[in-house]
Amino acid sequence: MSALTLATPAGAQGARTRTIVVLGDSLSAGYGIKVQEGWVSLLSQRLAAEGYGYKVVNASVTGETTQGGVSRLPRVLELHKPEIVIVELGGNDGLRGLPLAASRQNLQRTLTLAREARAKVLLVGMMIPPNYGARYAQEFRELFGELAKANSIPLVPFLLDEVALKPELMQDDGIHPNAKGQPRMLENLWPGLKPLLVAPGKPAG
């Protein structure tokens, strides 16, 4: 289980520091690697290097489900008042074969809560092997796109694109990327996140 981790870029100074919250599971909590090697820490470093004035709060927990995430979110929103929420949840639901209707409901509630808190939202998609049948795996994959479209929010189609099928980028469990896979994960996420960012030097609105 990952504790709440704050990653504060060196360049994030001033009266108002914008905050990005990552609400995720082990893929974002940095399971099996050093915290500073994870894609969330790499995101914080990239934002600082490119002059974006954001603090990144990693509210990810290893083993988290969509139900656990939505139950924690109100407190996270209250504490950090984020400008952007990155939702990376659902993988554990799929690996456990949980009912997709419940996962959809939990994710929709998560998106609604974040938007009610006036945060921009980026939804991160996931795919699973067909352990529970091809139909379940397909419907699971499509779930994220359907939610993104219904809520008019950007989607990262698959966080592990160009990672999951490359053994050299994965840990021995075949589920979690190793440190070498983390930069690729950030590259997968960046095109969805960048349009949500306030340009460097622009004052907070």
pLDDT at 4: 47
What is the Cα–Cα distance from 101 to 8, expressed in whole angstroms? 37
pLDDT at 202: 66
3-state class (DSSP) for residue 62: coil
99 lies in some domain: yes
9 lies in some domain: no
Q: Across the strands, what pairs with 18?
A: 54
Number of domains forming the structure of the chain: 1
Find tokens 């996420």 and name the residue: 189
The catalytic site residues sit at 26, 173, 176
Say which amino acid occupies 199. Answer: A
CATH number of the domain encompassing residue 102: 3.40.50.1110
Q: Which residues, given as ranges, of the chain have pLDDT below 70?
A: 1-16, 201-205
pLDDT at 75: 98
> Residue 119: CB partners within 8 Å, gap ≥ 6?
21, 77, 82, 83, 84, 85
Whole-structure pTM value: 0.91
Question: Which of 82, 85, 13, 8 lies closest to 45, judged by CA?
Answer: 8
pLDDT at 200: 80
pLDDT at 13: 43
Under DSSP, the state recorded for 36 is G
202 lies in some domain: no
4 lies in some domain: no
Per-residue burial over 81-107, b = 16 or more CB atoms within 10 Å of its CB, e = otherwise: ebbbbbbbbbbbbbbeebebeebbebb
Q: Pull the structure tokens for residue 162.
A: 């160009």
Per-residue burial over 169-188, b = 16 or more CB atoms within 10 Å of its CB, e = otherwise: bbeeeebbbbbebbbbbbeb
Q: Pull the structure tokens for residue 47.
A: 């934002």
11 lies in some domain: no
119 lies in some domain: yes
3-state class (DSSP) for residue 135: helix
Q: Which domain holds residue 106?
A: 17-196
pLDDT tens per residue across span 10-63: 443 444 689 999 999 999 999 999 999 999 999 999 999 999 999 999 999 999
